Amino acid sequence: MNTIAKSELIIRLNEIIKSLSMEGVVILDNGQPIAKIIPVHSNSSKFIGKMKGKITIHGDIFSTRVMWNAES
């Protein structure tokens, strides 16, 4: 992963954003990591449906499998 000093980031921000890799860039302040810049994927999958076809449900997912003797 690439790292860059905060002072250098201020000077080269446009250049860094244009060449941002998938793993991002860690910003250092006095040699200590303080933040990370990562790219945003505009064509990324939506959250709902992301696991479609990867999960199998067996049985009734709403059943507690406990018999109730409730009277109405």
Give the model's pLDDT for residue 43. 56
Whole-structure pTM value: 0.50
Q: What domain range is 6 assigned to?
A: 2-37
Number of domains within the chain: 1
Which pairing describes strands 25-29 and 2-5: parallel, antiparallel, or unpaired? parallel
Give the model's pLDDT for residue 32. 94
Residue 31 lies in a domain: yes
Give the three-state DSSP class for 51: coil
Amino acid at 43: N
pLDDT tens, residue order, the chain (72 aa): 688 899 998 899 888 888 888 788 999 999 999 999 988 865 555 667 777 788 888 888 888 888 888 776
CA distance 32 to 30: 6
DSSP classification of residue 46: P
Residue 8 lies in a domain: yes
Residue 68 lies in a domain: no
Give the model's pLDDT for residue 34. 94
Residue 42 lies in a domain: no
Residue 72 lies in a domain: no
Residue 9 lies in a domain: yes
What token pair was written down for 23? 């793993």
